[in-house]
Structure 1
Amino acid sequence: MALSSFTVANYRSFLHPTTIELKPLTLLFGYNNSGKSALLRLLPLLADSVGEPRGAPLNLDSAAVRGAAFRDLCCQLSARRQIDFTLSWDGESGFSSVRNYQFSVLELPGPQAEVLPPVVNEFSAEYFLGQQGNAASLRGTWMPERAFPPPNRALYETWSKIQGHEETHLDSSPIAFRGIKPGSGEPLDPSLWMTVNALGMQLEPLRDEVQWLGSVRRVPHRSREFRGSAPPKLLEDGTGALEILVQDKLQGGPLLATVSAWFEKNTRQRLDVTEVAPRYYALTLGPLASPGIRVNVIDTGEGMAQVLPVLVLGAQARAQGTPSTVIVLEQPELHLHPRMHEPLADFFCEVAMQPNPPRALIETHSENFLQGLQLAIVEGRLDPAHVAVYWVQQLDDGCSTVKLITFNDMALPSYWPPDVFSEDTELSRRILKKRRQKEGR
């Protein structure tokens, strides 16, 4: 099963339900303060909230919220202290598979609202059973008068349709939540247990499948002792890139070769892992024409150090070869010269066109990155069905909206906001006008 879309309402500046469909390449464009980062960081927040044991559905210790309280996440254009979420999957897995999971998180009313954790208010899940196509669903409502004081427990009204039989009943067994993941606190009715178990099994992998890399990235360590194992994935600031590449080289994996190939093609530099002392390793770049020269990556310029974890993340997703992986990237072009944006787009086109590609959600301001994707479409290197662009805009009242943009096989967009990416032309026009004024024309 692969996460195919998510929907959120009353979150940050997104008052109304806002849906983002995840394609192999999904881009978020928009001006500053439009809501792009808030939308993108929702996925790592939810991934960090799966199985969270602290008694609150959302893990507010996640780096994705930057220390925000639940009230800070709620849209200030509404008096509601509730956020509505929907996660949707495609494909099949095992005996049963959940297609949609809807849930709301709210702040309990009362004088202690600011100190009590928010709770799951309402939720529903729909799933299908194996090859037979039988459907079942579960609906539940938070009942604080019955479940308080233990947080995250509820009584559920369930509806099921299994092999043509329908039934509706109020189940008397409370279920405990661990983050956004429901789990059985007491023995459940078999049909109810099946739904809860299927949902839990589908949510659990999100913690590892969502791989987020933020826009503020640390440079790699100058050198690092390798103690036998690397982290399974990068941290949001890029930490771990050195260790991952060291382990890959020692084990003869494909990651270092994939990342180095990009540098070789576009910078005429080869990336290597160099042992600078026993068990201490560094990442170096050296000119292809001068094999004896090796310069530490952090001494080669900010752009090379910043793009390194981006390439490592893409290479990992490429090696995993599964559509359940979700890459979440903020400004991959950061500190790169505009000439390098198209080659970076080409790298992600190659990832998107491999068999069983991952899903990528990328926030960018780069016109060259977008045009690199369009060129790949026209040249037949990228299937336009693999691409979705969302224009994110904040209206005058502070409410943010999104507009889906698709492309045909000639890379022509279905829609484009007026005057976007016209800044270069406008500046050139103003320079020319001033020149003519100075010349007395």
Structure 2
Amino acid sequence: MISKIRFKNFKLFKNWQELEIKPITILIGKNNTGKSAILKLPTMISESLKGEIAEPISLNSKVSIGKKYEELFYNKEILADTVDFEISDEKEKLSISIKGNNRGDNIEIKSYILNDEDIKVNQSDLKGFKHSKIKSLKLVFDYIDAFREFPKEGYITDINGKIDTIGISGLNAFKLLAQYRKENNPLISTISKWFESNFEGWKIEIKEIAASIEGFDFVLSNQKIKNINILNTGSGIRQVLPLIVRSYMPVEDETLIIIEEPESHLHPAAHGNLAQRFVESFLENASKKYLIETHSKNFILRLQALIADPKVNFSNKDVAVYYVDYIEDEQASILERLELDEFGEFTKWPEEIFNESYRELLLLKQNQSDRDDSIN
């Protein structure tokens, strides 16, 4: 699987940036700095390496990277500059430079260097980025959006066919659970036990609708309350269920599971448990790797605690945390790696990240002091 991506003049990133993919790779930063562009970058490269598209990059993928090719270029300078990528795994490295055509409405390959060999190619020689000389470069992914959906009726009837991704909306999680129920797969019990342990005793159950219909309801139960349809529960469980199903779901190939804001709609107390589940998922099966964008301090803190825990076979070498920042003076974003030591401590931490509580506390104290002065 691809282990490193370098890029230049891509979206908000003017200068060379590097993303190393670890078992757990985290993106943090303020809004509108380019985190989503980086989160989607591996999906774009994966599609280009499959060899299924005529153009270098497709704008018609399920994970949208833009409506026009100019949107891929820094400052939309499709006629003035190139967008450059270096993609590597343990065996191969591909360096590719892409330029706009004369009209600026399409793109073409300017240079193509594979393992230090400058290969003269026309786009007709390629399918996407795929060349016959490429042997190992590939990336299998499952991209899950921040806004996960659930069956509008609260049940599933269409459960046929192989399911190998949870999908952008997360709906495949419900189909997969229905398949597990039909097959008496023990993962149903495993997933339910996770919810029972982490959501105050609530268990997930999948029940047949009726003997005459091949369909399944998704309900929650605890020791006192039985069979509440998932539609009638809080958003938290519905939003996190696709992520937990994905974490237990078997994989045939090394897979990068890309998740946008896993903590969406969850109480902060549950964020750490979610981070721990992803780490456990990797420890159970090293073929699963995670690329996660998060705004949760508790999520990061749990990762730090797991690194420090001598009883857990998880170290700072298994994690990469990146801070995405927009530099006003340069009118461009950067991707800065925040190093962790063996005790889970960051060797450097940006002052502006996760210090909102401290600022609000200072404001509270100042306002309390002002009120006291006005009374006296």
TM-score by length of 2: 0.90
Specify the SS of the correspondent of 2:336: strand
| CA-CA distance at 1:334 after TM superposition | 0.5
CA distance in 2, matches of 1:227, 1:373: 36
* Structure 2 CA distance for partners of 1:43 and 1:375, relative to 1, 3 Å: same
Is 2:229 aligned against 1:296? yes
Give 2:351's aligned residue.
418
Gaps of 5+ in 2: none
Q: What CA deviation, in whole Å up to 9, does each residue of 1:272-310 have, x standing for no partner?
A: 2111132111222111x13x7011222211111111111
Pairing 1:119–2:112 present:
no
In the TM superposition, what is the alpha-carbon distance from 1:357 to its structure 2 partner? 4.4
Residue 212 of structure 1 corresponds to 143
The corresponding residue for 1:310 is 243
Matched, 1:236 2:236: no
Query: Equivalent residues in 2 for 1:330-345 (5 A)?
Result: 330-345=260-275
Which of 336, 340, 343 does residue 403 from structure 1 map onto?
336
Q: Deviations over 1:82-102 (max 9, x none)?
A: 221122112xxxxxxx42122
Secondary structure of the equivalent of 1:49? helix
Counterpart for residue 363 of structure 1: 293
Cα separation, partners in 2 of 1:217 and 1:308, compared to 1, 3 Å: same
Greater percentage in strand = 1
Deviation at 1:394, TM superposition (A): 0.6
**Equivalent residue number for residue 107 of structure 1:** 100
Q: How far apart are residue 370 of structure 1 and its match?
A: 0.3
For the residues of structure 2 that align with 1:54 and 1:26, how far apart are their CA atoms?
A: 28
Aligned to 1:437: 370
Instruction: Give the distance between the partners of 1:430 and 1:113, measured in 2 at CA.
Output: 50
C-alpha separation in 1, matches of 2:94 and 2:65? 26
Quickly say closer, same or farther: Cα 1:299–1:66, change in 2 above 3 A.
farther
* Counterpart AA for 1:113: G
Could you tell me which amino acid in structure 2 is paired with residue 202 of structure 1? S
1:279 corresponding residue in structure 2? 214
**Are the counterparts in 1 of residues 53 and 128 from structure 2 also a CA contact under 8 Å?**
yes
Quote the offset at 1:74 in angstroms.
Answer: 0.5
Indicate whether 1:85 and 2:85 are aligned.
yes
Structure 1 residue 358: deviation in Å?
2.1
CA distance in 2, matches of 1:223, 1:394: 44
Contact 2:159 2:178 in 1 (8 A): no
Which residue identity lines up with residue 215 of structure 1 in the other structure? A
1:10-409 equivalences under 5 Å are 10-51=9-50, 53-65=52-64, 67-76=66-75, 80-90=80-90, 98-109=91-102, 112-114=103-105, 117-126=106-115, 138-142=117-121, 152-153=123-124, 176-183=125-132, 196=133, 199=134, 201-203=135-137, 206=139, 209-221=140-152, 222-267=154-199, 268-277=201-210, 278-287=213-222, 289-290=223-224, 293-316=226-249, 319-320=250-251, 324-354=254-284, 356-380=286-310, 381=312, 382-396=314-328, 397-409=330-342
Q: CA deviation at 1:220?
A: 3.2
CA distance in 2, matches of 1:182, 1:10: 23
TM-score (norm. length: structure 1): 0.78
Structure 1 residues not aligned, in runs of 5+: 91-97, 127-136, 154-175, 184-195
Q: State the Cα distance separating 1:231 from its structure 2 match.
A: 2.6
Offset, 1:256: 2.5
Count of aligned residue pairs for this structure pair: 366
Deviations 1:252-281 (A, max 9, x none): 435433322221111111112111132111
1:421-440 superposed Cα distances (whole Å, 9 cap, x missing partner) = 11112112211221232223
Cα pair distance change 1:6/1:217, threshold 3 Å: same
Paired with 1:411 and 1:283, the residues of 2 have a C-alpha distance of 39
> Contact conserved, 1:82 with 1:106, CA < 8 A, in 2?
yes
The residue aligned with 1:6 is 5
CA deviations 1:99-143 (Å, max 9, x no partner) are 21221222122xx332xx3122211222xxxxxxxxxx532235x
2:142 maps to a residue whose letter is Q
Q: Is the 8 A contact 1:57 1:179 kept in 2?
A: yes
SS in 1 for 2:344: coil
Larger Rg: 1
1:374-402 C-alpha deviation (Å, 9 max, x unpaired)? 11122232312111100110110321111
Q: Report SS of the residue matched to 1:313.
A: helix
Distance 1:89 1:365 in 2: 29
> In 1, Cα distance between the equivalents of 2:185 and 2:55?
40
